[in-house]
Homo-oligomer: A and B are copies of this chain.
């Protein structure tokens, strides 16, 4: 089982990254910090004649990663009660690549399993719930199984180390991924 961990945070060693690294430790995995790549916003050409224009950025690396891994781990801090901007751009661009005939991305995505890590302050356990629902709708659209999610408590770097239950769940997932 190969795990693709996609990090949405825009700082180093934040709380969602800490959990993500704990979850993939020792497993066969690829870890990508989305903000390290050049990813353009979608330009919505769904109804344009000729469809989507090619974009010269780093997105196709991500397409290749998606195709070659079995499990996706989406780890994002809760920014303004949603996923981070870089992660949002990642999903927005699916609209382009689901239509790209070189890949069979939609069929492939339907075979994957998704895990989600969200980190935020103490209110995130409730105010992060619309984001969990959004992830569910996203995964439903492509037929991907939404296996589970963690909402970890942590704002300052390192704080999540005190969220014992988030750590326990991270370890439980790690055990699953090691099998």
What is A's interface to B at a CB cutoff of 8 Å? 9-11, 14, 35, 41-48, 77, 79-86, 88-89, 91-92, 94-95, 125-127, 129-134, 136-138, 141, 146, 148-149, 155-157, 164-165, 168-169, 172
Given A10-B42, A80-B138, A81-B138, 15 other A-B residues pairs in contact with their CB atoms under 8 A: A11-B48, A14-B44, A41-B84, A80-B137, A81-B133, A81-B134, A81-B137, A82-B82, A83-B88, A88-B88, A125-B149, A126-B132, A130-B130, A130-B134, A168-B168
Number of copies: 4
> Is B79's CB under 8 angstroms from A82's CB?
no
Closest 6 A/B residue pairs (Cβ):
A130-B130, A85-B89, A11-B44, A81-B137, A130-B133, A80-B91
> Is B47's CB under 8 angstroms from A156's CB?
yes
Q: Contacts of A129 on B, CB cut-off 8 Å?
A: 129-130, 132-133
> Is A47's CB under 8 angstroms from B82's CB?
no
